[in-house]
Structure 1
Amino acid sequence: MSTQETTEGAPGARDVRLVAPGFAELTIRPEDGCRISSLIINDLEVLRQGDRYGSFPMAPWCGRIELGQFRSFVTAPGGDDGAGRSGGARHQMPINATPHAIHGTVRDQPWRTASVDDQSASFYCDLTDPWPYRGRVTQTFELTDDALTLTMGVESRGDSFPAQAGWHPWFLRQLGPTGAPVQIAFDPAWQEERGVDHLPTGRRVEPGPGPWDDCFGMPDGVDVTLTWPTQLELTITSGARWVVVYDEQEEAVCVEPQSGPPNGLNTVPRLVTPIDPLEVSTTWRWKRF
């Protein structure tokens, strides 16, 4: 059984720490975007350390939005997209990855702790400016001896709006100073062709070799295995159909399960309504060598 502790973090913040005795320790920082700041497995830290690293939630969108702009959608018979939806107002998000907006807003907000027990913790934050709709994002963490399960929900508190949710973990390329580099194994059905603006062009192509900063389609659910030879195998699964893999940095690799592709608020909008929230989960399961 896990045990839970709270420890002082940065000034004005409290970290939440879950511990599976002898196997895994998880530290969550609610005041810092509800990011995971540390995951230690068998005495090995697996996440890159630093204020912008660890693993952070992405909502109410994932990856980049083209020029930081998206359109709301209203339901109308027939619609203009063949699915009963018509384009509504255009909204501008702050540009933080020139010329685009990237990774949502909740990673920059303080979250509130809803509950903590020996094996799990739950948190929430309300969507606020610059996001133009009232809503709430929730996140739960469940730690066992050999797995971590994360679940995120996006709820509307008024009008319907398009949304996405996912996670952006930074896994260390090497575990410890003498560890071998991580190996990435997965079998996507397609790769979203990436344009010079780092956005999908709309074409699906055969998956190509790395290095990657690319989005892949896995229609049966995300399934990616990271292997640090002689040390650890960690498999990331999710019911989500898209995953971004980023391995262009020397220090870390990212495997990001998400509910839609980059710029998906514009290209494949998933409406969140007061009676139909968005929910996505991912499980990281590990095996020690």
Structure 2
Amino acid sequence: MNTDNTPQARRNVVRLTAGAAEVDVEPENGCRLSGLRVGGTELLRQGAKYGCFPMVPWCGRIDHGEFRNGAELHRMPVNAPPHALHGTGRDLRWRTARRDARAAVFTYDLADPAAPWPYPGTVTQVVELAEDGRSLTLTLGVEAAADSFPAQAGWHPWFVRQLDGGGAPVELSFDAAWQEERGDDHLPTGRRIDPLPGPWDDCFGMPEGVEATVTWPGRLELTVASRAEWVVVYDEQEAAVCVEPQSGPPNGLNSLPRLVTPIDPLEVSTTFSWRTLG
């Protein structure tokens, strides 16, 4: 059996390049970024469940996997008991719609039989490196084909704590307007509080747009920026830290529904930009 786990050995990897940057996308593995390298240095935690995956058509947890659309009650698979976690898109095979050297477009059908989502529509992810290779922009779009429905979209990047397995651990900086108080069930209680010190598995509000800095001292500084107003920060694991821009808070299908209609799709983007230090 071939145990090689290099990008070249994986099936159907779309590799994009610009300047000193390389991005690997695996459309058959939830359209996740399995690699983001700058000058040959990998920034993302490796492994089939890690990298950077899109969260769609919801982000974070849905309370007991249930949400309402008007009078209709829907139940999603409970994959993180007692809740449904991170959407269905990360578990599906996406189609590569088009690509060139530094950009690619991927789609999947919301009515895919493998995705238990009750409404037809289309999800699109655009992955694009800047021409100078100093930034990466990700864009998610959710379109309704018929009935309107609530949806969310965002990303879950796993940034390694130490580059090349050594050196100073990563530092994280952000300035949030508030923190969503988290209940014992890991869902927001609906109460906004002043941001607390970490470690975190928490959602923060940034009404002027998400901006956070991930720094590997002496090596690299990466900025996560988005016009989205919500970010989840997760740094409770030793191997990586996660900075997750998203269009709404956890359980937002219930607490803050954003309806997608045939004439009003949901679109959200985030940009990772970086500079070398030292």
Which of 227, 234, 239 matches 2:215?
227
1:277 aligns with 2:275: no
Name the SS of the counterpart of 1:211 in structure 2.
Answer: coil
Match of 1:65 in 2: 62
Which deviates more from structure 2 when the two are superposed, residues 112-121 or residues 234-243? 112-121
Which deviates more from structure 2 when the two are superposed, residues 273-282 or residues 176-185? 176-185
Equivalence map 1:66-85=2 (5 Å): 66-73=63-70
Change in Cα spacing, 1:46 to 1:108, as seen in structure 2 (3 Å) is same
Q: Alpha-carbon deviation of 1:210?
A: 0.2
Q: In the comparison of the two structures, how many residue pairs are matched?
A: 266
Match of 2:75 in 1: 92
Q: Which 4+ stretches in 1 moved above 6 angstroms?
A: none
The code of the aligned residue for 1:15 comes to V
For residues 9 and 240 of structure 1, the distance between their equivalents in structure 2, rounded to whole angstroms, comes to 35
1:134 aligns with 2:132: no
Match of 2:15 in 1: 17
Which of 51, 61, 81 matches 2:48?
51
The code of the aligned residue for 1:213 comes to D
Name the SS of the counterpart of 1:184 in structure 2.
Answer: strand
Match of 1:238 in 2: 226
After superposition, give the CA deviation of every residue in 1:230-287 in whole Å (9 maximum; x if it has no partner): 0000000000000000000000000000000000000000000000000000000000
Q: TM-score, with normalisation over the residues of structure 2? A: 0.94
Which of 166, 169, 178 matches 2:166?
178
Q: Alpha-carbon deviation of 1:178?
A: 2.6
Which of 104, 107, 117 matches 1:124?
107
Equivalence map 1:20-31=2 (5 Å): 20-21=18-19, 23-31=20-28
Which 5+ residue runs of structure 2 have no aligned equivalent?
1-6
For residues 153 and 173 of structure 1, the distance between their equivalents in structure 2, rounded to whole angstroms, comes to 30
Change in Cα spacing, 1:177 to 1:8, as seen in structure 2 (3 Å) is closer
The code of the aligned residue for 2:239 comes to E
For residues 288 and 220 of structure 1, the distance between their equivalents in structure 2, rounded to whole angstroms, comes to 27
Equivalence map 1:94-113=2 (5 Å): 94-113=77-96
Which of 93, 98, 101 matches 1:115?
98
For residues 269 and 55 of structure 1, the distance between their equivalents in structure 2, rounded to whole angstroms, comes to 25
Q: Alpha-carbon deviation of 1:176?
A: 1.4
Name the SS of the counterpart of 2:165 in structure 1.
Answer: coil
For residues 241 and 8 of structure 2, the distance between their equivalents in structure 1, rounded to whole angstroms, comes to 29
Q: Alpha-carbon deviation of 1:100?
A: 0.2
For residues 43 and 210 of structure 1, the distance between their equivalents in structure 2, rounded to whole angstroms, comes to 31
For residues 271 and 8 of structure 2, the distance between their equivalents in structure 1, rounded to whole angstroms, comes to 27
The code of the aligned residue for 1:20 comes to A
Match of 1:159 in 2: 147
Q: Alpha-carbon deviation of 1:177?
A: 2.8
Which 5+ residue runs of structure 1 have no aligned equivalent?
1-6, 74-87
Q: Output the aligned Cα RMSD.
A: 1.0
Q: Percent identity, aligned pairs only?
A: 65
Name the SS of the counterpart of 2:254 in structure 1.
Answer: helix
For residues 149 and 36 of structure 1, the distance between their equivalents in structure 2, rounded to whole angstroms, comes to 12
Q: Alpha-carbon deviation of 1:19?
A: 1.1
The code of the aligned residue for 2:18 comes to A
Q: TM-score, with normalisation over the residues of structure 1? A: 0.90
Match of 2:3 in 1: none
Q: Alpha-carbon deviation of 1:9?
A: 4.9
For residues 25 and 117 of structure 1, the distance between their equivalents in structure 2, rounded to whole angstroms, comes to 13
Name the SS of the counterpart of 2:17 in structure 1.
Answer: strand
Equivalence map 1:188-267=2 (5 Å): 188-267=176-255
Q: Alpha-carbon deviation of 1:159?
A: 0.4
Change in Cα spacing, 1:121 to 1:193, as seen in structure 2 (3 Å) is same
